[in-house]
Amino acid sequence: MNRKHFLKISSLGLTALSVNPQRSFAAADKPIVISTWDSGMAVNAAAWTILEKGGRALDAIEVGAISIENKIDCCVGLGGYPDRDGIVTLDACIMDEHSNCGAVAGMEDIKHPISVARKVMENSPHVLLVGNGAQQFALENGFSKEPKVLSKDAQNAYNDWLKKNNYKPEINIENKKPFGGPFAPVFFDDGTVNHDTMGLLAMDKKGNMSGGVTTSGMAFKVHGRVGDSPVIGAGLFVDNEIGCATSSGVGEEVIRICGTHLVVEFMRQGYSPENACRKAVERIVNRDKEKAKTLQVGFLAMSKKGEHGAYAIQKGFVYSLKTADENKIIKSKYIIE
Ligand code: ASP
């Protein structure tokens, strides 16, 4: 393609967008915080204590994430489900209004990965630290090591999983397809899925945005596996001029399309948060429609105007919203019936 042809296409694209900017979705007054899943209600409440006082979105994100990492019988943090070897490994990242970011992945025995991620952002020249190195950095920065104990819920789920998968360490379990494939969500008997990542997006009174993600990752993953959650541009992206996005679901699918960066780029093109999320989900589904039936991915986004929206591959994804006037759970639309 020569430059002239390229410019012609670009200008056509711009005209089309200005005619049909696809902006229409729910806008909320700032401050505002949204987060993945219904467990986001409590997280939003914690974040709100900062936002309502006129505090910075970044601080609200950290406080919100800490609140769920504190819960021992929950879905993220050290109370989360372990990997296939029975070890809980944590992933987290944080990004502020200046595009500063920090992340940790595969970190063991540290209670607040979100705060370590923030320290990586603020106290190191790096963006992402992994495994033992992340833990060492945490210890050097005043965090302490917690005992390696699974929560009751996690231990029960793990025992159950071992039975169902007839798991023996010497067997190449990742080549099996116990519940829909090694990288597919694990569907439990009651129909729930093992996705619980907490992704939060906030805009403060000044209109600055930040985001964060904290998770124990996909349950029963291969030891050493890192999902989308701590990967900037995959599990989280913030562009303070345009908007921000986060994700939950099968991380590999999100990484493949640089999911949250893509969502923000769609918003830059004029799509509403919901439509930007839909277009990113479609990108995953259209790659392999059959495989998509076994996957769940949900994106959640907020624009600079405080519009918010989500979209998922399948039914079941929800997000929590908190503003001065609203405090509720919103069901995401989805593609596959
Ligand atoms: N996205 C997370 C991961 O792939 C899982 C989740 O959302 O629960 O690690």
Please work out whether the CB of residue 260 comes within 6 Å of at least one atom of ligand 1.
no
Which one is catalytic: 89, 197, 260, 294?
197
> From ligand 1's centre to the CA of 298, what distance in Å?
10
Range of the domain at 219: 30-336
3-state secondary structure the chain: CCHHHHHHHHHHHHHHHHHCCCCCCCECCCCEEEEECCCHHHHHHHHHHHHCCCCCHHHHHHHHHHHHHCCCCCCCHHHCCCCCCCCCCEEEEEECCCCCEEEEEEECCECCHHHHHHHHHHHCCCCEEEHHHHHHHHHHCCCCECCCCCCHHHHHHHHHHHHHCCCCCCCCHHHCCCCCCCCCCCECCCCCECCCCEEEEEECCCCCEEEEEEECCCCCCCCCCCCCCCCECCCEEEECCCEEEEEEECHHHHHHCCHHHHHHHHHHCCCCHHHHHHHHHHHHHHHCHHHHCCCCEEEEEEECCCEEEEEEEECCCEEEEECCCCEEEEECEEEEC
Provide the number of structural domains found in the chain: 1
19 located within any domain: no
Residues of the chain with pLDDT under 50: 1-24, 169-194
Q: What is the percent of the chain where pLDDT is above 90?
A: 69
Q: How far is the CA of 10 from the centre of ligand 1 (A)?
A: 36
197 is annotated as an active-site residue? yes
- Report the atom number in ligand 1 closest to the C-alpha of 252: 4
Give the mutation target among 218, 232, 314, 332 for probing the ligand 1 site: most ligand atoms within 8 A of CB.
218
- Per-residue pLDDT, 76: 87
Q: Is 228 in the pocket of ligand 1 (CB under 6 A)?
A: yes
Would residue 16 count as lying in a domain? no
Instruction: Confirm whether 276 is domain-assigned.
Output: yes
Q: Is 251 in the pocket of ligand 1 (CB under 6 A)?
A: yes
Considering the domain boundaries, does residue 327 fall inside one? yes
Query: What CATH number does the domain containing 233 carry?
Result: 3.60.20.30
Residue 51 lies in a domain: yes
Report if residue 17 sits inside a domain: no
**pLDDT tens digit string along 181-221?**
333 444 444 444 445 799 999 999 999 999 999 999 988 89
Structure confidence by residue, pLDDT tens digits, 32-53: 999 999 989 999 999 999 999 9
Q: What is the mean pLDDT of the chain?
A: 86
Answer yes or no: is 301 within a domain.
Answer: yes
pLDDT for 129-148, tens place per residue? 999 999 999 999 999 999 99
Residue 10 forms part of a structural domain: no
